[in-house]
A and B are shown apart, each in its own frame.
Chain A
Amino acid sequence: MTKKQAVYFCTGCGIGEALDVQALVKVAKGEFRIQDVKEHSFLCGPEGVDLIKKDIEAGANTVTIAACSERVCYDVFNFGPSVIVERVPLRERVAWVQEPGDEDTNMMAEDYVRMGLSRAKATELPEPFLVENPSKTILVVGGGLTGMTAALEAAGAGYEVVLVEKEATLGGWAGKVYKLPPLAEPYTEPAENNIPALAKAIEDNPKIKVYTGATMESIAGGPGVFDAKIKQNGSTVQERVGAIVLATGALPYDPKKLEYLGYGKPNVVTHADVEEMAKSGKLKNVKRVAFIQCAGSRDAERLPYCSAACCIETLKQAVYLKEFNPNVQAYIFYKDIRATGKYEHFYKAVQQTGAVFIKTEIPGVQVNEDGGKLAVEAKDIILGEDITIGDLDLVVLANGMQTNAAFGEEIAEEAEEEAAAAKEDELAAKPDQIIKSNMLNLVYRQGPEMPALKYGFPDSHFICFPYETRRTGIYAAGAVRATMHVPTAIEDAAGAALKAIQCVECVARGEAVHPRAGDTSYPEFNMNRCTQCKRCTEECPFGAINEDEKANPLPERTRCRRCGTCMGACPERIISFKDYSVPMIGGMAKTIEVPEEDEEKPRILIFACENDAIPALDMAGINRLKYSAWVRVIPLRCLGSLNLVWVSDAMSSGFDGLLLLGCRHGDDYQCHFIKGSELAEVRLSKVSETLDRLGLESERCRMHQISIMDYYRIPKLIEEFVEKLDELGPNPMKGF
């Protein structure tokens, strides 16, 4: 597109009082030779917006609005998809944080105008990446309660579904139980097992194709174009699918590891055994029963987590035992009864049946044989004494669960492992934990399964985005993802089905999925200059880039989340987006005027993540927090897109310091691209060599991990850096 640029300066909200706007107009007209430059004292008001609209009608297609931040007035300054809008936040980044009328304040504003105009000149409208005939079929791996629910939910919204179950019949763990826990009011009685009804509904649903006795041989491609090979009866079928729900469930915790609670003794059984006994009518002679909760769970030696379902399962079994023998007496040894939410009603109902609850510490409970019967010895914390419950016909161990994703050989990414081994002293990004659990068998460079978070769960780390995943278009649901009980698994299945549907619709429109939902830009690789260094394929947090045998990157575009980590990783700078590239950001930095040493006006370049650090800078502005006039801020999609050439260019062009502001990393990371800020810090640690070569101190570059709430700390962070740079003196490269 031929660009026709126009520039607008707002003088409202104190901008006009703080700045010499005529000097800014001169930058646009003189340095950038833009004819259409206008001022208005209330640009976001109807008259101001009309001014812009008229110019657009007359042909302007790239408008730079030097006014407030893009976090406000986003609606009035939206002129449709064919107009490029560049916002220069003079209000939040200059007028509200600097001394009004000061020379340095105006120099800062001029630089922001230069940066904005430079970017407006370099940016292009993205064209969506559209795949041919994208599939909207949802593949559900696992045919238990979660998988069956996900399949029915997706089909209910009109989507085709392929459901793959490794057993000969659908149902999974829930298919084997006698009854389910209550699922609706009054929450006092177990629910009938509805798995047969669900199986029938699936059988009758023409939108769902079922493969039982089948496993995933491999999954290649990406969202919209996954090629799923399904192994069944010794042959392989291929299905083209758009997105995947992983619902392979959990296994009961291995009771063989529970000998310390009496497993192995006659009539010491597990929850699953009781379900089986109920179905085969073997509970008639059970008159006295003890349940031992947290059998393996909440135990640092075994499963440190809570298995979430066992309290409710025990309550359920304690109730239905009465169907077989109305006089059965249940004793429940527990640490805490975790009948959360509405299940409190169930707990209360069970208490009223006469079941006895004994609070104790679970490792510490002793199960003994007692003349053909069993006896449980424990410390009753409430009575404060040791007790023995004897004459028991059955002891049930509430043995918890372990995700199916946790079973298999563990691979750390080989390349990262090698790199870490080679340079042990250097900072390196933590490799992903991938366990070969044989569930998906992804044909991905990074490994065949979803990365595990903790305890082998392929869970999301994000509280606010529980379906945020490390493998685009693949959503884990149910007990494979986290320990959960039945109603949660049902909800989780519907949530994951929605995300899968959303993913196939986004792919069909050529848009990114979360967190850059709606973004139509995507990375383009100039392969002529690729040196097969593999950095992009290794560093992509989402495993979006495969490699050929010669180590050429093979980007799977629909797997891409558009963070730009590959662009930051590439030493040859061959990766660019239409509206985001190494030359574009580098060009913004180059357009900043760096005064000569004798002017005593240091310059600090800040690269700030647009997800948290930029809003934090905005908030500093809104709260009128004053900070140093030496800084110039350039927003990045994610610090993961930081290319080291920007750092070396900035330092060799005379910037005195460089500051990175990104999200917290580590175990409780807040980077929505998972590894972006961590990789930026690793890269920055490696730039010290370059700085040494230039004869510069590595302290001139630093990084801070901040969140949006740290806005009030920003002036101090900057001030401390200014002081450090004062100590170091000016960059000796100035003027070269």
Chain B
Amino acid sequence: MPNKSILVVGGGISGLTTALEAAEVGYDVYLVEKNSYLGGRVAQMHHYFPKLCPPNCGLEINFKRLRRNPRIKFFTCAEVQKISGRKGDFDVTVKVNPRYVKPECTACGDCVAACPVERPNEFNYGLDKTKAIYLPHPFAFPMKYIIDRAACPDGCSKCVEACKYNAIGLNMAAETVNLKVGAIVYATGWKPYDAAKISYYGFGRHQNVLTNVMLERLAVPNGPTEGRIVRPSDGKEPETIAFVQCAGSRDENHQPYCSQICCLATLKHITYIRENNPNAKIYVFYIDIRALGKYEDFYTKVAQDENVVFIKGKVGEITEDPATGDLTLETEDQGAGQTVKQTVNMVVLATGMAPSVLDTGVPSELAASDSDGFVVSDIAQTGIGGAGCARKPMEVSASVRDATAAALKAIQAAVGGGK
């Protein structure tokens, strides 16, 4: 008798989708997420292209689906450690890391006022800080606090004293959960390609060289700058901004594939900047603008903006003027057939996506990865495979479509069992 339940690893938009779609058919689903909240990368976005609508709106509906569906059991702060067995009959060991805050947490927030220390806020890519006890982000689901124990001063228990609900467990330990499932979907998503590896662009050295994911946090009204897009060096609004496309993508020295989303992400970022500062002048250095299908309409709309200049050419180097924090990009303008230098106030690197699974791997021989590290094995055949950006680079809408398809493959694997 095959086990008909499904394990989904990763609780971002793809994993949530696979889990919800399978559960709404009628299957039992376990969802394992390594962060302390569900929603993944999209929870960090200001808008989706091309509608420019807030991702939290779609996430809210998904959380509502999840709240009312008894067939899904989810774990946060959790990671898959071991997978054994075969299609239709897997045994999975999941490690649930301590949150140091118990389920009794009411999210009243009294602990935050009592906490004496701060730590960099990874949700905002280090652009601001949180206390050692913190809500991962304003829309966090589940709405429970968490403690970064590494940031706690020795012997401090101020939050314990402040909590009226006895919800803090500074001595909580990791727990192990064993699951029996029939199919496993890896929807572990992506991480931004490490911009520091593209040394000639100066990310990490030049303060006003940012990545596209950081710009999302600057644009969002509840982000570290309350929605003001400003330079890290002086907090001033940039008047001139350059976007460097394919930063680390389509490049044999970095990632040879195209990350699919960065062109459209940049077009979207242009709308953020133009709304923020109507006088801003924007330069986009690109190889090809890849706006497939109806996304072309979005490109057409943004390209009509007189303040936006598209320059075909790959940026070679970015240098900083230490006095002003301004940056000079050197590139060959293929359109004009000459080397050009462009000085701007701020540079945004359109870094692409690397599969998150590159860090952890999939602990099963049945899962196959391709040469770029994406999980490509067919779930229906092997019982284990990828969905969304774990499988190949794709935008949100494609991820949801792919994750829906993965739900069907997982059902086929679970129902088909050992066939």
- By a beta-carbon cutoff of 8 Å, the part of chain A in contact with chain B is 12-14, 42, 44-46, 68, 71-75, 153, 156-158, 184-186, 298, 300, 304-308, 336-345, 348, 359, 381-384, 454-455, 457, 459, 461-467, 482-484, 488, 491-495, 497-499, 501-502, 505-506, 509, 513-515, 517-518, 611-612, 615, 619, 622-623, 664, 668, 670, 672, 707-709, 712
Measured between beta carbons, the chain B residues less than 8 angstroms from A342 are: 257-258, 370, 372, 374, 392-393
Q: Report 20 cross-chain contacts, Cβ distance below 8 Å, ordered by A residue.
A: A44-B106, A71-B143, A184-B376, A300-B300, A305-B296, A306-B294, A336-B290, A342-B372, A342-B374, A464-B61, A492-B401, A494-B409, A505-B24, A517-B68, A611-B61, A619-B138, A622-B143, A668-B51, A668-B53, A709-B56
Q: Does B394 contact A (CB under 8 A)?
A: yes
Q: Does the CB pair B293–A305 fall under 8 Å?
A: yes
Asked if A465 meets B400 with Cβ closer than 8 Å, knowing A344-B256, A615-B60, A668-B52, the reply is yes
Q: Does the CB pair A464–B107 fall under 8 Å?
A: no
A173 to B109, CA, bound (A): 60
Q: Does the CB pair B335–A384 fall under 8 Å?
A: yes
Q: Does the CB pair B62–A464 fall under 8 Å?
A: yes
Asked if A381 meets B312 with Cβ closer than 8 Å, knowing A492-B401, A611-B61, A709-B56, the reply is yes
Measured between beta carbons, the chain B residues less than 8 angstroms from A44 are: 104, 106
A615 to B291, CA, bound (A): 33
Measured between beta carbons, the chain B residues less than 8 angstroms from A455 are: 294
Chain B 363-374 near chain A by CB (<8 Å), digits 1 or 0: 000000011101
Q: Does the CB pair B401–A612 fall under 8 Å?
A: no
Q: Does the CB pair B257–A344 fall under 8 Å?
A: yes
A338 to B56, CA, bound (A): 30
Measured between beta carbons, the chain B residues less than 8 angstroms from A348 are: 256
Asked if A517 meets B65 with Cβ closer than 8 Å, knowing A12-B106, A345-B257, A502-B25, the reply is yes
Q: Does the CB pair B61–A494 fall under 8 Å?
A: no
Q: How far is the CB of B60 from chain A (nearest CB, A)?
A: 5
Measured between beta carbons, the chain B residues less than 8 angstroms from A492 are: 401, 405
Q: Does the CB pair B408–A506 fall under 8 Å?
A: no
User: Nearest residue in B to A70 (C-beta to C-beta)?
Assistant: B67
Closest 5 pairs (CB-CB, A-B): A464-B58, A494-B405, A495-B404, A498-B408, A336-B288
Q: Does B26 contact A (CB under 8 A)?
A: yes
A46 to B335, CA, bound (A): 69
Q: How far is the CB of A295 from chain B (nearest CB, A)?
A: 15
Q: Does the CB pair A467–B24 fall under 8 Å?
A: no
A12 to B408, CA, bound (A): 44
A429 to B106, CA, bound (A): 43
Q: Does the CB pair A506–B55 fall under 8 Å?
A: no
Asked if A185 meets B256 with Cβ closer than 8 Å, knowing A483-B293, A499-B404, the reply is no
Q: Does the CB pair A708–B408 fall under 8 Å?
A: no
Measured between beta carbons, the chain A residues less than 8 angstroms from B138 are: 619, 622-623
Q: Does B398 contact A (CB under 8 A)?
A: yes
Chain B 381-409 near chain A by CB (<8 Å), digits 1 or 0: 00000000000111011101110110111
Q: Does B116 contact A (CB under 8 A)?
A: no
A704 to B60, CA, bound (A): 20
Q: Does B415 contact A (CB under 8 A)?
A: yes
User: Nearest residue in A to B108 (C-beta to C-beta)?
Assistant: A13
Chain B 324-363 near chain A by CB (<8 Å), digits 1 or 0: 0000000000111100000000000000000000000000
Measured between beta carbons, the chain B residues less than 8 angstroms from A501 are: 25, 408, 411
A465 to B60, CA, bound (A): 12
Further pairs besides A71-B63, A518-B68: 9, Cβ < 8 Å: A13-B106, A305-B297, A382-B335, A463-B51, A464-B396, A466-B397, A498-B21, A514-B65, A611-B60
Q: Does B86 contact A (CB under 8 A)?
A: no
Q: Does B412 contact A (CB under 8 A)?
A: yes
User: Nearest residue in A to B48 (C-beta to C-beta)?
Assistant: A463
A74 to B68, CA, bound (A): 8
Q: Does the CB pair A482–B312 fall under 8 Å?
A: no
A74 to B70, CA, bound (A): 11
Measured between beta carbons, the chain B residues less than 8 angstroms from A14 are: 108
Asked if A488 meets B404 with Cβ closer than 8 Å, knowing A498-B21, A709-B221, the reply is no
Q: Does the CB pair A185–B371 fall under 8 Å?
A: yes
A18 to B60, CA, bound (A): 29
Q: Does the CB pair A45–B405 fall under 8 Å?
A: no
Measured between beta carbons, the chain A residues less than 8 angstroms from B164 are: 12, 42
**Considering residues A74, A153, A157, A462, which has the most beta carbons from chain B within 10 angstroms of its beta carbon?**
A157
Q: Does B225 contact A (CB under 8 A)?
A: no
Q: Does the CB pair B297–A494 fall under 8 Å?
A: no
Q: Does the CB pair A306–B295 fall under 8 Å?
A: yes
Q: Does the CB pair B292–A466 fall under 8 Å?
A: no
Q: Does B222 contact A (CB under 8 A)?
A: yes
Q: Does the CB pair A482–B294 fall under 8 Å?
A: yes
User: Nearest residue in A to B294 (C-beta to C-beta)?
Assistant: A305
**Considering residues A304, A305, A342, A514, which has the most beta carbons from chain B within 10 angstroms of its beta carbon?**
A342
Q: Does B233 contact A (CB under 8 A)?
A: no
A408 to B122, CA, bound (A): 53
Q: Does B165 contact A (CB under 8 A)?
A: yes
Q: Does the CB pair A498–B407 fall under 8 Å?
A: yes
Q: How far is the CB of B88 from chain A (nearest CB, A)?
A: 14
Measured between beta carbons, the chain B residues less than 8 angstroms from A45 are: 104, 165
Q: Does the CB pair A464–B258 fall under 8 Å?
A: no
Q: Does the CB pair B53–A505 fall under 8 Å?
A: no
Measured between beta carbons, the chain B residues less than 8 angstroms from A383 are: 337
Q: Does B114 contact A (CB under 8 A)?
A: no
User: Nearest residue in A to B338 (C-beta to C-beta)?
Assistant: A384
Measured between beta carbons, the chain A residues less than 8 angstroms from B408 are: 153, 157, 494-495, 497-498, 501
Q: Does the CB pair B397–A463 fall under 8 Å?
A: yes
A461 to B57, CA, bound (A): 14
Q: Does B200 contact A (CB under 8 A)?
A: no
Q: Does the CB pair A306–B415 fall under 8 Å?
A: no
Measured between beta carbons, the chain A residues less than 8 angstroms from B63 are: 71
Asked if A337 meets B288 with Cβ closer than 8 Å, knowing A72-B107, A157-B411, the reply is yes
Q: Does B54 contact A (CB under 8 A)?
A: yes
From B26, B292, B297, B416, A338 is in contact (CB under 8 Å) with B292
Measured between beta carbons, the chain A residues less than 8 angstroms from B52 are: 668
Q: Does the CB pair A306–B291 fall under 8 Å?
A: yes
Q: Does the CB pair A308–B69 fall under 8 Å?
A: no
Q: Does B97 contact A (CB under 8 A)?
A: no
Q: Does the CB pair A465–B54 fall under 8 Å?
A: no
Q: Does the CB pair A338–B290 fall under 8 Å?
A: yes
**Considering residues B61, B143, B220, B398, which has the most beta carbons from chain A within 10 angstroms of its beta carbon?**
B61
Q: Does the CB pair B289–A495 fall under 8 Å?
A: no
Chain B 281-306 near chain A by CB (<8 Å), digits 1 or 0: 00000001111111111001000000
From B222, B260, B396, A340 is in contact (CB under 8 Å) with B260
From B58, B220, B288, B289, A462 is in contact (CB under 8 Å) with B58
Asked if A502 meets B401 with Cβ closer than 8 Å, knowing A305-B294, A482-B294, the reply is no
Q: Does B32 contact A (CB under 8 A)?
A: no
A494 to B22, CA, bound (A): 13
Q: Does the CB pair B404–A382 fall under 8 Å?
A: no
Q: How far is the CB of A670 from chain B (nearest CB, A)?
A: 6
Measured between beta carbons, the chain B residues less than 8 angstroms from A612 are: 57, 60
User: Nearest residue in B to A155 (C-beta to C-beta)?
Assistant: B412
Measured between beta carbons, the chain B residues less than 8 angstroms from A381 are: 312, 334-335
Asked if A382 meets B58 with Cβ closer than 8 Å, knowing A306-B291, A345-B257, A495-B404, the reply is no
Q: Does the CB pair A304–B290 fall under 8 Å?
A: no
Q: Does B8 contact A (CB under 8 A)?
A: no
Q: How far is the CB of A44 from chain B (nearest CB, A)?
A: 6
Q: How far is the CB of B402 from chain A (nearest CB, A)?
A: 5
Q: How far is the CB of B385 from chain A (nearest CB, A)?
A: 12
Q: How far is the CB of B373 from chain A (nearest CB, A)?
A: 12
User: Nearest residue in A to B106 (C-beta to C-beta)?
Assistant: A13
Which residues of chain B from 206 to 232 have a CB within 8 Å of any chain A CB?
Answer: 220-222
Q: How far is the CB of A103 from chain B (nearest CB, A)?
A: 24
**Considering residues B291, B292, B297, B397, which has the most beta carbons from chain A within 10 angstroms of its beta carbon?**
B292
Measured between beta carbons, the chain A residues less than 8 angstroms from B295 are: 306
From A359, A461, A494, B312 is in contact (CB under 8 Å) with A359
Measured between beta carbons, the chain A residues less than 8 angstroms from B401 are: 466-467, 491-492, 495
